Structure 1
Amino acid sequence: MIAPNQLTDPTVRAFVTAVNAGDRSAFSALLAPDATMSDDGSDREVAQWAEKEIWSANGHMDVVSESDGGLALVVDYRNDTWGEMRTAWRFVTDSGRVSRFETGQA
């Protein structure tokens, strides 16, 4: 596993740290105003998805590996709804904010 504070990209590092800390404010502050995301190839509304998959379900990211300068992660993701699954995450960042992220089973 890669500790969140060892992740290469500072924006992705902050994203993982916010998720794992259950810090909604830090998570929201990282998102660009028009941020988008997809889950298993289907676009979702970020706030609704985060509420269901992260906040109300105690989501947690254990990073297995990173690539593409830290913008692509393989993560053992767990939450109270789905249990644990290996997931892939890709991030598009701009000026320290996430403009898009994509996740899905790896």
Structure 2
Amino acid sequence: MTIQPARLSDPAVRAFVSAVNAHDRDGFLALLAPDATMSDDGSDRDLGDWIDREIFSSNGHLDVDSEGRDGRSLVARYRNDAWGEMRTRWSFTVDEEGRISRFETGQA
């Protein structure tokens, strides 16, 4: 059963999923701390390059199946034009200002 983005527990994660699904690159970037980092399948990646390739130029979309850690951990079906659909895990670190300072993703 899919959890609608508006029902996700953590406000930053809710906004992240909503921005991905709306293909709102500017809104997405506004959610990130200035020095935000990310990893994919355990390897740190260049954030700007990764989001352009994996989300915004390839029509990325998240359907969230479950959440944990007060909404800062997700299991979701992620799809984009490059890879199709896969079951993924997402983990978020949110700073004291409510911005995402790190996210980690990979196959679940």
Q: State whether TM-score is above 0.5.
A: yes
1:10 aligns to what?
A: 11
Q: TM-score, normalised by structure 1?
A: 0.99
Report how far residue 58 of structure 1 moved.
0.2
Whole-Å separation in 2 of the counterparts to 1:18 and 1:8? 16
Whole-Å separation in 2 of the counterparts to 1:17 and 1:31? 14
Report how far residue 48 of structure 1 moved.
0.4
1:98 maps to amino acid: I
2:107 aligns to what?
A: 105
Whole-Å separation in 2 of the counterparts to 1:28 and 1:75? 21
Give percent identity, aligned residues only. Answer: 66
Summarize deviations over 1:34-71 as a string: whole Å, max 9, x none: 00000000000111000000011000000000000000
1:31-70 matches, cutoff 5 A: 31-70=32-71
Whole-Å separation in 1 of the counterparts to 2:47 and 2:14? 19
Report how far residue 6 of structure 1 moved.
0.1
Report how far residue 96 of structure 1 moved.
1.3
Whole-Å separation in 2 of the counterparts to 1:51 and 1:8? 26
Structure 2: state its 5+ residue gaps.
none
- RMSD over aligned CA atoms reads 0.4
Whole-Å separation in 1 of the counterparts to 2:10 and 2:25? 20
SS of 2:93 mapped into structure 1: strand
Whole-Å separation in 1 of the counterparts to 2:46 and 2:99? 17
- Poorly superposed stretches of 4+, deviation over 6 Å: none
Structure 1: state its 5+ residue gaps.
none
Size of the alignment, in residue pairs? 106
SS of 1:43 mapped into structure 2: strand
Report how far residue 33 of structure 1 moved.
0.4
